[in-house]
């Protein structure tokens, strides 16, 4: 019993350390290395889906957070975001979407007024890969 408890506490401590590591910082934790013709997504940018997930969880709940994480992760890994500007524009739209989702009556109007496709978040939601630990 004591051994089980000790293992559990060790695991808990391990999770705590990891969570501490990925704790979101007040401002968006990305920097953009941008030169015309030399736009790249840096390591910091690759961590952005996690920060985005935290923000979305706070704003809209876990399911939206997971959807955002997956959608953004796919965009980054598939090089959908061809440069830093594209990255910022897309990220802004994710936050805007969350904003309008919280003001539910206005979400439809937002979609009518923009040609931006939220990159089939519903489809991405099916491919949930985000570890529960990240969101706990």
Partner 1 sequence: MQRTVFKRKSKRASKLLDTIRSIDRLLLSNTINDKQKLLRLREKISLVTMYALELENKLEIH
**Residues near partner 1 (CB under 8 A), total:** 29
Q: Site for partner 1 (CB under 8 A): which residue of 18, 77, 114, 122?
A: 114
Range in contact with partner 1 (rule: CB under 8 A) among 3-11, 73-81, 100-108, 121-129: 100-108
Residue with tokens 């941008």: 34
Q: Is 36 one of the binding residues for partner 1 (CB under 8 A)?
A: yes
DSSP string across 64-130: HHHHHHHHHHHHHHTT-S-SHHHHHHHHHHHHHHHHHHHTGGGHHHHHHT-------HHHHHHT---
The span of 62-70, 72-80, 110-118, 122-130 binding partner 1 (CB under 8 A) equals 110-118
By beta-carbon proximity to partner 1, the closer residue of 80 and 116 is 116
Contact 74, 124 (CB under 8 A): yes
Q: Which is nearer to partner 1, 20 or 38 (CB)?
A: 38
Give 5 or 36: the residue with its C-beta nearer to partner 1: 36
Output the six-digit token pair for 74: 């796919």
């Amino acid at each position: 019993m004591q051994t089980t408890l000790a293992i559990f506490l060790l695991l808990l401590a391990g999770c705590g350390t990891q969570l501490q590591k990925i704790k979101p910082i007040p401002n968006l934790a990305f920097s953009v290395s941008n030169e015309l013709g030399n736009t790249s997504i840096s390591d910091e940018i690759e961590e952005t889906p996690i920060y985005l997930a935290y923000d979305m969880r706070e704003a809209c709940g876990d399911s939206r957070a997971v959807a955002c994480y997956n959608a953004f992760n796919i965009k980054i890994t598939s090089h959908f975001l061809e440069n830093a500007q594209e990255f910022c524009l897309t990220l802004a739209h994710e936050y805007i979407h969350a904003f309008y989702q919280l003001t539910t009556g206005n979400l439809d109007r937002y979609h009518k007024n923009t040609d931006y496709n939220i990159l089939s978040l519903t489809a991405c939601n099916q491919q949930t890969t985000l570890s529960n630990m990240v969101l706990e």
